[in-house]
Amino acid sequence: MILGIETSCDETGVALIADGRRIVANQVASQIPVHAPFGGVVPEIASRQHIKTLAPLVRRVLSDAGDVSVTAIAATHGPGLMGSLLVGVNFAKALAFAWNVPYVPVHHLEGHIFSAFIGDNAPAFPFLTLLVSGGHTCLIACDEPHKYRILGTTRDDAVGECFDKVARLLELPYPGGPSIQRAAVPGNPRAYAFPRPMCDSDTLDFSYSGLKTAVLYALRDTFGDKPVPAPQVADLAASFQEAAVDILLIKTRHALAATGLTTLVVAGGVAANKRLRDRLQEDIDVPVFMPPMALCVDNGAMIAAAAHSRLEHGVAHDVRPAASASLPLA
């Protein structure tokens, strides 16, 4: 019975997981309303908000769970916002010390990978992971538990970050991913021919800043300083989303072919995107494992699930005691 704590960015997530895959209690306190007026996450506000939210949320999860005995406490120790990470790490360490149970530090991306293990239908190793979030866009060969090879990563913006920036250009509310998905529904995905950068090359790296700039130029060239009418916002959102998703699919197919891996995991906040989920079902011919929508964005359950596996495989001891804003996965 593992308590998982996630405070790397703008969600305070706390969950209790049994046997590595069964959710006993799960609470996420989103800071979206606090950061929305600024159009993005303000680090100092985020860490102060985690301090306010974390202890009441842990109490709430323990009371939701009823009479349980916690056997380990896990927290994200990186990468992420340093102040925010320190809140979760120090809380978890203190509680683990007080309760005399192990503290298990977990890499944020490993947490996202293990979100696909929650529930009845877990993938078997080896598999390829497409990890798409606000801070990361990577293809990872997951050869065996806790052994990762990064095959490709973004050279500039992450795909979620690109959704967020394009939403700002279109004057859609933060966070951009869900706003663009909503705005795109009545739009024509072929209205604008946006580029698919780096898709003709052999590299498995990504580049998303050119796509964002292409949306900016299309806006300027067509509308200048005038407000963009709603039907054109829908067309721009749909065409952008199609390009963003296309790039992910092209690179994922390349990675499957290059590695010979025959199972795909897709995780991270952008994995909640409906168009991406539909296209994966249509265009990828290996079994695809995705967490349920609610576990795509940051949460404590995925951190507890990863910690369970670390304890099971005897790799729960980490000599790096503190949080790290730029912790490498592999």
Contact residues: ligand KG4, CB under 6 A? 9, 133-135, 160-161, 163-164, 175-178, 181, 268-270, 272-273, 297-298
- Shortest Cβ 249–ligand KG4 spacing (Å): 14
| Residue 235 binds: one of Zn ion, ligand KG4, none (C-beta under 5 to 8 A by kind) | none
* Closer Cβ to Zn ion, 80 or 152, answer by number: 80
Map the footprint of Zn ion across residues 282-311, applying CB under 5 A. 298
- Shortest Cβ 18–Zn ion spacing (Å): 23
* Closer Cβ to Zn ion, 12 or 133, answer by number: 133
Element (H or E) spanning 22, and its range?
strand 22-30
Quick count: other Cβ atoms within 10 Å of Cβ 161? 23
* Closer Cβ to ligand KG4, 233 or 297, answer by number: 297
What is the separation, in whole angstroms, between the first and last Cα of the chain? 27
Report d(CA 312, CA 305) in Å as an integer: 11
| Residue 79 binds: one of Zn ion, ligand KG4, none (C-beta under 5 to 8 A by kind) | none
* Closer Cβ to ligand KG4, 13 or 197, answer by number: 13
* Closer Cβ to ligand KG4, 136 or 146, answer by number: 136
Residue closest to 230 by CA, chosen among 159, 175, 182: 182
Residue 84 as a binder of Zn ion (CB under 5 A): the answer is: no
* Contact predicate 90/61, CB 8 Å: no
| Residue 164 binds: one of ligand KG4, Zn ion, none (C-beta under 5 to 8 A by kind) | ligand KG4
Per-residue x/- mask for Zn ion, residues 130 to 159, rule CB under 5 A? ---x--------------------------
| Residue 297 binds: one of Zn ion, ligand KG4, none (C-beta under 5 to 8 A by kind) | ligand KG4
Residue 6 as a binder of Zn ion (CB under 5 A): the answer is: no
Two tokens, residue 219: 């806006």
At residue 3, φ and ψ (nearest 5 deg) are -90, 120
- Shortest Cβ 269–Zn ion spacing (Å): 6
Two tokens, residue 189: 């995905």
**Range 161-169, long-range pairs (CB < 8 A, 24+ positions):** 161/134, 161/135, 161/208, 162/208, 162/209, 162/211, 162/212, 162/244, 163/244, 163/270, 164/40, 164/134, 165/212, 166/211, 166/212, 166/215, 166/237, 166/240, 168/39, 169/212, 169/215, 169/216, 169/219
Strands, E assignment, 244-301: 264-267, 288-289
* Closer Cβ to ligand KG4, 83 or 134, answer by number: 134
- Shortest Cβ 73–Zn ion spacing (Å): 20
Residue closest to 201 by CA, chosen among 251, 258, 138, 162: 251
Residue 242 as a binder of Zn ion (CB under 5 A): the answer is: no
State whether residue 21 is helix, strand or coil: coil
- Shortest Cβ 268–ligand KG4 spacing (Å): 5
State whether residue 172 is helix, strand or coil: coil
* Closer Cβ to Zn ion, 123 or 269, answer by number: 269
Residues that bind Zn ion (CB under 5 A): 133, 298
